[in-house]
A = this chain, B = another copy of it.
């Protein structure tokens, strides 16, 4: 059986040695480890962006994968660290909500706190648990360590609220929840929310400003024109064909998006 991969989702960036050091620690414990960078570009301390990135990608990994998510502004404080075992995966992270949206679609089997210092690096720093605590724990899990060895069971984990939609008979109102590197604004309006609006053309507005219809791909409109598509994570996203919607339309996290028939 091949060794289960370890994915990394962090806000550490790649300009310093932080991520490289985590990988060094993992490979020192498990020389056969397979490590996948999901992303290290989460904005510093932005737990919601980390939660969205992990939710959008974790299901594509092989069964057995250990998903390590370290967006950890509370490092060194009293916040807990956890491993969540689901039917298909292990998720390892600070217990600060970063797993919330990934776990919506998982069947949770057990949650354990990371408290058994046998599986940490020593000494444990107060500022870099990614290196000293989370990476060695992930390495041990990839070697087959049962999660219950890592610490006591707990019954729940910290949940981030998912921004709720406002609905009327012919419209649904959501917001931009993620801006990607292309400047596309991904919203919290799922494909299934659009289906509830029934057949017929849909009109998308940013705030009160009518913007565009919903198309099925970016180049359905001329270059430079706005377009809304159901993106690859299953949510409506606002784009500009061959352009940057965030810049051109002034999109921000939280910008209100209305979709109506």
B-contacting residues of A (Cβ < 8 Å)?
2, 5, 7, 9, 12-21, 23-25, 27-28, 31-32, 34, 36-41, 44-45, 53-54, 56-57, 60-62, 65, 73-77, 125-128, 131-132, 180-182, 216-220, 229-232, 237, 242, 244
A125 to B40, CA, bound (A): 24
- B216 and A76 contacting across the interface, CB-CB below 8 Å: yes
In the complex, the answer to whether A27 meets B16 with C-beta atoms within 8 Å is no
B residues near A76, Cβ cutoff 8 Å: 216-220, 229
Complex Cα–Cα for A138 and B77 (A): 41
A73 and B232 in contact (CB under 8 A), knowing A38-B20, A38-B21? no
With both beta carbons as reference points, the residue of chain B lying nearest to A25 in the complex is identified as: B60
Smallest CB separation, A224 vs chain B (Å): 12
Q: Separation in Å of the A29 CB from the closest CB of chain B?
A: 9
SS class of chain A's interface: helix, strand, loop or mixed? loop
Tallying the copies of this chain within the complex gives: 3
Q: Is the CB of B7 within 8 A of A19?
A: no
A15, A28, A54 interface centre (most CB from chain B within 10 Å): A15
A37 to B40, CA, bound (A): 13
A27 touches B182 (CB 8 A): no
Give the residue of B27, B37, B41, B181 whose beta carbon is less than 8 angstroms from that of A34: B27
Within the assembled complex, what's the spacing in Å between the Cα atoms of A39 and B22?
A: 12
CA–CA, A132 and B217, complex, Å: 15
Whether the pair B16, A61 counts as a contact (CB closer than 8 A) is: no
Which B residues lie within 8 Å of A40 (CB)?
14
With A27-B61, A218-B73 given, is the CB distance from A181 to B16 under 8 Å? yes
Q: Is the CB of A242 within 8 A of B73?
A: yes
Q: A36-B20, A39-B20 are in contact. Are A28 and B60 (CB under 8 A)?
A: yes
| Structural contact, B14 and A127, CB atoms closer than 8 A | no
In the complex, A8 Cα to B23 Cα: how many Å?
Answer: 12
Which residues from B are CB-within-8-Å of A13? 41, 181
- The residues of B that contact A128 with a CB separation of less than 8 Å are 231-232
Contact B232 A127 (CB under 8 A): yes
